[in-house]
Amino acid sequence: MQETSQNSEQPKKKILIDTTFLFDQYSFRGIGKYGKEVVKRLLDYAVEDNFEVWFAGFHDLKKNLIALGLSQFGVDQHLKHVQFYSFGEPVNSSLGNIKRWKDTFKLAIEEIKPDIYYSANFERGLPTTRILKRNLNYVPKTVVMAHDAIPIATRSYSQKSIVHNVIKGVFYNIMFNGVKNADLVLTNSNFSKGDLIKYGKIPETKIRPIYLGVDEKFFEKSSEADIKHVMKAFSLEPQKYFIYDSGLEKNKGVDDLIEIFKKLIQLNPEFPSKLVLVGKDFNKAKGSKIQPQNERADKVLKKLKTVGILDYIITTDRVSDEDLTILIQEAYCYFNFSKYEGFSFGPLQAMAAKVPVIVGNYSCIPEVTDGGAFLINSSNASSAAQLINEYLTNTDQVQEFIKKGYEVVSRYSWETTVEQTWNEIKQLV
C-alpha cells in the first residue's frame, strides 16, 4: 500500500473503486469496457476535487493503471495520487464471491473507511448487499453501475444448462440485492431505467441514466496500409460484406439474422454475398472450415448449414479493437437484430464509421440510435428482407440515414459520460 500526504487541513473525502473487473472474465466484455473508459477518466475528476482515491483489486497498482489503458505519463502521474488495496492474484467472479467477501472487500472497506464505494459490477458484492452488510462494521455510500435488468426480466442467468441457470439465478439475485439498496444506481439508457424499476424493484429516485461513449477511433478513417492488412487477414479483399458483431446469446436475434441474410442475397444478387460474424464463438475461418468454440456456436453452425448459407459466412475469432474498427469501417452494411439490450455499442460504432446501420425495432435500440439507423421488425424474414432491399437500393435515403446517424453518435462521448457520473457521485457527500 502507498501513503499520500494531506494537502489541506480539511480531511479528504475518500473514494474506493472496485477494479477487479480489469483481470477477470468481464475484462473484455461490456462491464470491462465501461469500467476502463470511466475509471481512467474519473481519476482526474477525483484528484482535482481533492478526493483520496483507492483501488481495490488484483495484482498491484501499476498493473491496474496499465490495464485501464493509461499512457506511460498517466501511469506515472497516478502512481502518486492513487492508493491500492491488493487481493493478490486474479480470481474469476463466481458464486465464491460471497465466501471471499470477508477476506477481500470487507477488510478493505473497514480499513480504508471510504466515504464512497464505487463499482462497475455488483457481482463481486456491494456494501449494501444484505448478507454481506450484516458483517460490516462500516458501510460507505454505495454507487453501482447496473447496465440492465435483462437476466431478471427473462430469468435467463446461464446458457450452460437448466441446473446452471437455477444456481446462477439464486446467486445473481442475492448480489442484486445490493443494487436495490445502493445509494446511487447508474444505468445507460432510459429503457434500462424502466426495466430496473419494473423488474429490479429499484426506487426511481435512486436511478440516474447516463449514456455511454463511443471510441473516437470509429470516427477516424484508418490508413490504407492498415485496411489492406486487415482485409487480407480475414480473406475479405477486394469484396464488400455485411457485418454482425453482437454475440450469439438467445436474445441477440441470430436466427433472424441468418434467415434475413439468406432471403436478402436471393432477392438481390447485386448485394455482397458475404456475412462476417465477429467474435470468439467461432475460429477464424470461412465456409466449411468454420469450427464452433462453444455450444451456442455449434447450434448456429448447424443452422447455417441447414439454411444453406455456410459458404457465405466468414468468422473472425476474437479481434483487437483496431481490427474491429477497420472491419466495421469497410463493411457494406451493419446488422443488429437483438431483441433485448440495455445499451448497444455496435450500431453506434457503425454510425460513427458512416456505415449504413440496420437494426431491430426493439428494447433500447430506437432510443440510442435516435433516428440514425434503419429500424425493422426482424421476426418476419421475408418482409424484413424486402424492406432492407428497398432501403439499401435507395441511395438518397441511405445517405440521409448515414448523415443523421453521424450527427446522433457525435453526442456520445466518454468525457460527457464521466463528467455526469462524477457530478452524481459528488452529490452523495
* CA 35 to chain CA centroid, nearest Å: 9
Query: For 290-325, what is each residue's pLDDT tens digit?
Result: 999 999 999 999 999 999 999 999 999 999 999 999
Q: Nearest to residue 16, comparing CAs of 135, 123, 109?
A: 109
- With a cut of 80, say whether residue 238 has pLDDT above it: no
Angle at 394 between CA 392 and CA 397, to 5 degrees: 95
Q: Is 21 left (phi over 0), alpha (psi -120 to 50) or beta?
A: alpha
Q: How far apart are CA 183 and CA 243, in angstroms?
A: 41
- Hey, CA dihedral for 124, 196, 13, 130, is it positive or negative? negative
Query: For 92-136, what is each residue's pLDDT tens digit?
Result: 999 999 999 999 999 999 999 999 999 999 999 999 999 999 989
- With a cut of 50, say whether residue 7 has pLDDT above it: no
> What pLDDT does 333 receive?
98
> The domain 14-213+414-426 belongs to what CATH superfamily?
Glycogen Phosphorylase B; (3.40.50.2000)
> What pLDDT does 237 receive?
78
**Residues with Cβ < 8 Å from 400, sequence gap 6 or more?**
none
Grid coordinates given for 222: 484508418
* pLDDT bucket at 9, cuts 50 / 70 / 90: low
Query: Over pLDDT 70: what percentage of the chain?
Result: 98
Q: How far apart are CA 50 and CA 14, in angstroms?
A: 9
Grid coordinates given for 379: 421476426
- For residue 238, whether the previous peptide bond is cis, meaning omega lies within 30 degrees of 0, is yes
Query: Over pLDDT 90: what percentage of the chain?
Result: 93
* pLDDT bucket at 6, cuts 50 / 70 / 90: very low
Query: Contact, 239 vs 217, CB < 8 A?
Result: no
- Hey, CA dihedral for 180, 184, 189, 193, is it positive or negative? positive
Residue 109 CA neighbour count, 13 Å, CB half: 26
Is 216-409 CATH 3.40.50.2000? yes
Q: Average model confidence (pLDDT) for the chain?
A: 95
Segments in 254-394 forming alpha helices (H): 254-267, 295-307, 321-329, 345-352, 365-369, 381-392
Antiparallel, parallel or unpaired: β 279-286 and 313-317: antiparallel
Query: For 173-182, what is each residue's pLDDT tens digit?
Result: 999 999 999 9
14-213+414-426 and 216-409 in the same fold? yes
The mean pLDDT value for 398-424 works out to: 98
Residue 341 CA neighbour count, 13 Å, CB half: 25
Query: Contact, 281 vs 294, CB < 8 A?
Result: yes
